[in-house]
Amino acid sequence: MITDKLSSFINNLIPYDYILFGVSFSLFVLFIILGILLRHKTFISVFLLLLAFIIIIFGPTLGYFKMHEYLFKNEVSIVSQKKLTFTKAVVIQAKLTNTSNKNFSICKIYFEAYKVSGNTIKDYIYKFKPLKQMSILKYDLPKGQTIDIKAILEPFTYTKDYNLSIKASCR
């Protein structure tokens, strides 16, 4: 399971990701070497070593998410939702718009339904454990285009108040 996710992650990397990882690693090595060379100036040496470890930990992680957020920008919104009465399902209609400067070859759209309690702390926790979740794939979305999406969450047996969320990851 973990090896599948890791191999999928590596297969979906783009050239900009490799550049980001290479620059982060190069800065890490540079600051480590500078810290060792300036070991007689304790404050500067410790500062450079801490900066090196901050760069190697946060640089690739935050850089990856921010870069993909910028390069593959999209807007997704729920148009309507309806809980069916005769079958245990919820029908969701949504719109996905490509707002980036690139054409998307594939988009994975995630739908989640989660409990609502009225308590802000519980509502925050419920988002981490959805009642029902699903994802669908859409192919070939040119820049500036909007597509309609229809999804059915089933079986959906929860009878109390719930919220739906939708997000998309495109490439």
* Mean pLDDT in order along the chain per 10 residues (171 residues): 84 91 97 95 95 96 93 93 87 94 92 88 88 91 93 86 90 86
Q: How far apart are CA 148 and CA 19, in angstroms?
A: 35
In CATH, the number for domain 74-170 is 2.60.40.1620
For residue 155, whether the previous peptide bond is cis, meaning omega lies within 30 degrees of 0, is yes
Residue 57, pLDDT score? 96
Q: Where are the domains of the chain?
A: 2-71, 74-170
**Residue 142: alpha-carbon gap to chain centroid:** 21
Q: Hey, how many other C-beta atoms are within 10 angstroms of the C-beta on 134?
A: 15
User: CA dist 158 to 81, 101, 102, Å?
Assistant: 15, 40, 39
